[in-house]
Amino acid sequence: MTRQQLFEKIREKESFLCVGLDSDLSKIPSHLHKAIDPIFEFNKQIIDATYQYAIAYKPNLAFYEALGSKGMESLERTMEYIPKDIFTIADAKRGDIGNTSNMYAKAFFENMNFDSVTVAPYMGEDSVTPYLEYPRKWVVLLAATSNKGSFDFQELMIESTGEKLYEQVIRKSASWSNANNMMYVVGATRAESLIGVRALVPDHFLLIPGVGAQGGSLEQVCKYGMNKQCGLIVNSSRGIIYAGSDENFGAAAANAAKKLQQEMAAQLQLHLG
């Protein structure tokens, strides 16, 4: 999917909502355990319930890998089920030497047909560029993450440049070849960081996790992070998929997604008209 197609989808649906499929056997409603593939059954009903409000789905690989080959089958079925006009993010947070990254890129882009994959920048340019060689596919690079531990390294000041480490990550990676195929992760829990991020990458899309269960503010994220093409994909996982815990979980998820979508429509109106 191209940047323009993504923006058109956002306009059409008046939404920049990504539903995170962090689907956990211990949290899904108990009646689903009777199904042949409970995780797929759960995802299917979540997708049916939220599709009209969302522009993206983000399966978090940890939740599937934890279940071994059965989990990978659930993921494959889920990927087949997600409508083709929806942006997909493999939340895998990979990062390795170049020839291994080639294999990860093949796995996520060719084999599983994801539109994008989350990648950790710690190993530098040659660990990221293999993913960037795929036209219409995206790297979502971790920059300023939403968790408390993000302060351990990402906020460290680099004396020679006077910038924080995560700002260096963004500045440097934005100069790599095919960097147009890059998005950056910035946590909603640190919305004010978006001012500096936007100064570095005014046009790139940003993936913003951390609204909902982690308490980030959508309004603040839009105030500091929205650009002329919206430029934001805001994820909520637990706040949507576990909004309900019984047979009516689909309706509860739909309500939670609709509420966020309506807030997003108002923000799009406010900032883009």
The residues of the shown chain that bind ligand OMP, judged by CB under 6 A, are: 20, 22, 60, 91, 118, 145-147, 185, 187, 209-210, 212-214, 235-239
Say if residues 204 and 174 touch (Cβ distance below 8 Å). yes
Whose Cβ is closer to ligand OMP: residue 219's or residue 270's? Answer: 219
Q: Is 92 helix (H, G, I), strand (E, B) or coil?
A: strand
Closest CA to 131 of 152, 101, 96, 158: 101
- The C-alpha atoms of residue 39 and residue 87 are separated, in whole angstroms, by 20
- In sequence order, the 6+-apart residues with CB closer than 8 A to the CB of 50 are 19, 240, 253, 254, 257
Q: What is the CA radius of gyration of the chain?
A: 18
Whose Cβ is closer to ligand OMP: residue 145's or residue 181's? Answer: 145
Whose Cβ is closer to ligand OMP: residue 142's or residue 222's? Answer: 142
Whose Cβ is closer to ligand OMP: residue 45's or residue 193's? Answer: 193
- In sequence order, the 6+-apart residues with CB closer than 8 A to the CB of 157 are 163, 164, 165
Say if residues 125 and 176 touch (Cβ distance below 8 Å). yes
Closest CA to 170 of 144, 152, 149: 144
DSSP assignment string, 112-128:
S--SEEEE--TT-HHHH
- Shortest separation between residue 23's beta carbon and ligand OMP, angstroms: 10
- Shortest separation between residue 102's beta carbon and ligand OMP, angstroms: 22
Query: Is residue 93 annotated as part of the catalytic site, yes or no?
Result: yes
**Active-site annotation holder among 13, 58, 84, 93:** 93
Other CB atoms within 10 Å distance of the CB of residue 62: 13
- Shortest separation between residue 125's beta carbon and ligand OMP, angstroms: 20
- Shortest separation between residue 240's beta carbon and ligand OMP, angstroms: 8
Whose Cβ is closer to ligand OMP: residue 120's or residue 228's? Answer: 120
- Shortest separation between residue 95's beta carbon and ligand OMP, angstroms: 12
Residue nearest to ligand OMP (CB): 145
Other CB atoms within 10 Å distance of the CB of residue 197: 22
Please list the active-site residues. Answer: 93
